[in-house]
Structure 1
Amino acid sequence: MTIYDYSFSKLTGNETVPLSDFRNQVLLIVNTASKCGFTPQYDGLEKLYESYKDQGFTVLGFPSDSFLSQEFADSEKTAEFCKLNYGVTFPLFQKSKMKGKEINPLFRYLLDESGEKKITWNFNKFLVDRDGKIVHYYGSRTKPEAIESEIQTLLKK
């Protein structure tokens, strides 16, 4: 199994996106939430995406309400909130679980591969290189801009 073996439905609409569409890109995979103290990180994530998308970098956002139900129940409302408040244009996928038996299978894979035990809160981040290998795990308190130099290094490889 690799990250490229997974497919997910976009946040809005019926389109399913295989992660193989992002092969050979540097990825920052993030569990997100719209009503969390870390929600302003959407701004930093979008800035990273805008700065480096033409060099082969993508942020993949996975909304979740696994921690204190901090995500809207309605996907359209989540999409509208992210666009209006933070200008989010990077891919967002359907809301998913981040803990328990129903954890999103991609995040189970990311945890297993990184050696991390669990998703601790919203805005945990996994940096993945162009070969689909997990380079680094960052907790919620790590702001997106703190990851920028590592992204730049991976993009040069």
Structure 2
Amino acid sequence: MMPSDIIGLYGRSHMSLLRRDVMGLIAGVVAAPGFIISAGAQSRANAYGFSFDQPGGRRLALSAYRGRPILIVNTATQCGFAGQFATLQQLWQRYSGRGLMLIAVPSNDFGGQEPLEGQAIAEAALQNYGATYAFAEKCSVRGSNAHPFYRWAAAQRPAETPSWNFHKYLVGRDGELVGGFSSGTDPIGPQLVRAIGQELQAT
């Protein structure tokens, strides 16, 4: 993405945060701690063996979306990439009717940029960016304390793990991990849209 595109997408007021986040991305790639994958997570046949807790005690089981592509994004409300809450909403509005499921997974792992807790995170994303898709409880997405889905995904795609906020995992209609997309990947850009479209057309 060109600098002019970023300015147009997020506004000049976010540019200082974006510069800090880009530096964090570089540091994360160089110095991110190794993932410790449990034998149980490795043995899961596909993503349908996992679920996410939600605020209020609800549980979001990925098996409930069997046969549908699922996009899972680790988010942070104070991140310079937080404008992606809005573009994720655009993606959700465009493809949810065709079967896409979108889950935001708040995390404080990168830069301490998610100070909120529980339902307050989803409320902030709704008020500031119009986000109406599903939100999980805040959790870790890297290291030995990572959510089991993220440990499984790291075992499946070790070169495509999160190194900053707004990393995107796409799970295919068969429950297999299609791939990971970096924080800078535009949610409505051609790379991710093409991958989602291929899954929506799969039989």
Give structure 1 regions of 4+ aligned residues with deviation exceeding 4 angstroms.
none
1:140 aligns with 2:179: no
1:156 aligns with 2:197: no
1:128 aligns with 2:171: yes
For residues 73 and 121 of structure 1, the distance between their equivalents in structure 2, rounded to whole angstroms, comes to 18
Q: CA deviation at 1:81?
A: 0.5
For residues 29 and 79 of structure 1, the distance between their equivalents in structure 2, rounded to whole angstroms, comes to 15
Residue-by-residue CA offset, 1:26-49 (whole Å, 9 max, x unaligned): 111111110001111111111111
Query: Aligned with 2:136: secondary structure?
Result: coil
Measured on the aligned residues, the alpha-carbon RMSD in Å equals 1.3
1:30 aligns with 2:73: yes
Alignment partner of 1:90 out of 133, 140, 147 = 133
CA contact (8 A) 2:78 2:114 kept: yes
**1:143 maps to amino acid:** D
For residues 98 and 66 of structure 1, the distance between their equivalents in structure 2, rounded to whole angstroms, comes to 7
CA contact (8 A) 2:47 2:171 kept: no
Query: Aligned with 1:145: secondary structure?
Result: coil
Q: CA deviation at 1:137?
A: 1.2
1:3 aligns with 2:47: yes
**2:201 maps to amino acid:** K
Query: Aligned with 2:195: secondary structure?
Result: helix
Alignment partner of 2:113 out of 64, 70, 85 = 70
TM-score by length of 2: 0.73
Residue-by-residue CA offset, 1:97-147 (whole Å, 9 max, x unaligned): 122210111111111112326420001111121001111211111110121
TM-score by length of 1: 0.93
Q: CA deviation at 1:74?
A: 2.1
More strand by share: 1
**2:53 maps to amino acid:** S
Provide the residue aligned with 2:96 in structure 1: 53
Which structure is larger by alpha-carbon Rg, 1 or 2?
A: 2
More helix by share: 2
CA contact (8 A) 2:160 2:181 kept: no
State the identity %: 33
Query: Aligned with 2:159: secondary structure?
Result: coil
For structure 2, which runs of at least 5 residues remain unmatched after alignment? 1-43
Query: Aligned with 1:116: secondary structure?
Result: helix
For residues 26 and 117 of structure 1, the distance between their equivalents in structure 2, rounded to whole angstroms, comes to 18
Q: CA deviation at 1:88?
A: 1.2
Distance 1:134 1:117, change over 3 A: closer
